[in-house]
A and B are shown apart, each in its own frame.
Chain A
Amino acid sequence: ELKVEQNPLFLSMQEGKNYTIYCNYSTTSDRLYWYRQDPGKSLESLFVLLSNGAVKQEGRLMASLDTKARLSTLHITAAVHDLSATYFCVVNRDDKIIFGKGTRLHILP
Chain B
Amino acid sequence: DVKVTQSSRYLVKRTGEKVFLECVQDMDHENMFWYRQDPGLGLRLIYFSYDVKMKEKGDIPEGYSVSREKKERFSLILESASTNQTSMYLCASSPPRGSGNTIYFGEGSWLTVV
- From A31, A42, A102, B90 is in contact (CB under 8 Å) with A42
- From A30, A43, A100, B105 is in contact (CB under 8 Å) with A43
Residue of B nearest to A93 (CB): B97
- In the assembled complex, the Cα of A75 lies from the Cα of B18 at a distance in Å of 44
How many B residues touch A, CB cutoff 8 Å? 27
Measured between C-beta atoms, what is the minimum distance from A91 to chain B in Å? 11
- Number of inter-chain CB pairs below 8 Å: 56
How many A residues touch B, CB cutoff 8 Å? 22
Residue of A nearest to B91 (CB): A42
Interface check B12, CB cutoff 8 A: no
A102 and B42: CB pair below 8 A?
yes
- In the assembled complex, the Cα of A33 lies from the Cα of B101 at a distance in Å of 9
Measured between C-beta atoms, what is the minimum distance from A37 to chain B in Å? 9
- In the assembled complex, the Cα of A99 lies from the Cα of B48 at a distance in Å of 14
A101 and B42: CB pair below 8 A?
yes
Enumerate chain B residues within 8 angstroms of A43, measured Cβ to Cβ.
Answer: 90, 105
0/1 interface trace, chain A 93-105, chain B, CB 8 Å (1 if under):
0111111111000
B103 and A92: CB pair below 8 A?
yes
Residue of A nearest to B104 (CB): A45
The interface centre, meaning the residue of B90, B94, B98, B103 with most chain A CB atoms within 10 A of its CB, is B103
- From A45, A94, A97, A99, B42 is in contact (CB under 8 Å) with A99
Some 7 contacts from A to B, beta carbons below 8 A apart, are: A41-B107, A92-B94, A92-B97, A95-B31, A95-B50, A96-B58, A101-B41
